[in-house]
Chain A
């Protein structure tokens, strides 16, 4: 157990729908990162939050949004889902000097 918890582990939904992925960072970590990993691509950075505030944005689609709550857990919202959004979505948290710790991911399948 890495200490980063992601739910749900698997999600199957239809095109056009909206889903929410949840992440609880490792205890004490203020930064949360979201990554997407498709079958034919590496890990793509989506967005980072630090202590409730958006800190950095990567290749995140406008249909996607995220937030970090006062208890530091984060949610990634994916809307108007398309087949190409099927991927593994990972959350990571970090603390200075300790690298980035990843959760076990949410496998999203859009049908």
Chain B
């Protein structure tokens, strides 16, 4: 079983839609949770970083962590074609960052 499970998609939505991306993890020792965006095999770009259960909002992005169910989510409001990318969840315990496989998102104009 992978330590971090993420539905690879692909996910295709119309412009303006609310997008929900989800991951589950198995190791309760994971303390930090991140979401990255990766365009066309460029370097992953950090979108959200949190270490506690609950919601964290940044503009159109909201990260949600539920440590009791080991579930992390990223919501994108008013999605734009420029949001089309691969989104990777990641968790960390100590120094090692463990990634999900990534979800490929396409936002259609």
Interface residues of A (CB under 8 A from B): 2, 4, 31, 33, 37, 42-43, 45, 48, 50, 55-56, 58, 88, 90, 92, 98-105, 107
Q: Which of B7-50 contact A (CB under 8 A)?
A: 32, 34, 36, 41-46, 49
Across chains A and B, the number of contacting residue pairs, with CB separation under 8 Å, is: 53
The answer, yes or no, to whether B53 is at the interface (CB within 8 Å) is no
- Minimum CB–CB distance from A95 to chain B (whole Å) comes to 11
- Minimum CB–CB distance from A92 to chain B (whole Å) comes to 8
Interface residues on B, range: 20 to 34
Interface string of B58-77 (1 = CB under 8 A from A): 00000000000000000000
Q: For the complex, what is the distance from the CA of A2 to the CA of B88, rounded to whole Å?
A: 17
Contacting B96 at CB < 8 Å: which of A58, A101, A105?
A58
Residues of A within 8 A of B97 (CB): 33, 45, 92, 100
28 residue pairs bridging A and B, Cβ less than 8 Å apart: A2-B43, A42-B99, A42-B100, A42-B102, A43-B44, A43-B99, A45-B96, A45-B97, A45-B98, A48-B95, A55-B95, A88-B41, A90-B43, A90-B44, A92-B97, A98-B49, A99-B34, A99-B49, A100-B46, A100-B92, A101-B46, A102-B43, A102-B44, A104-B42, A104-B43, A105-B41, A105-B42, A107-B41
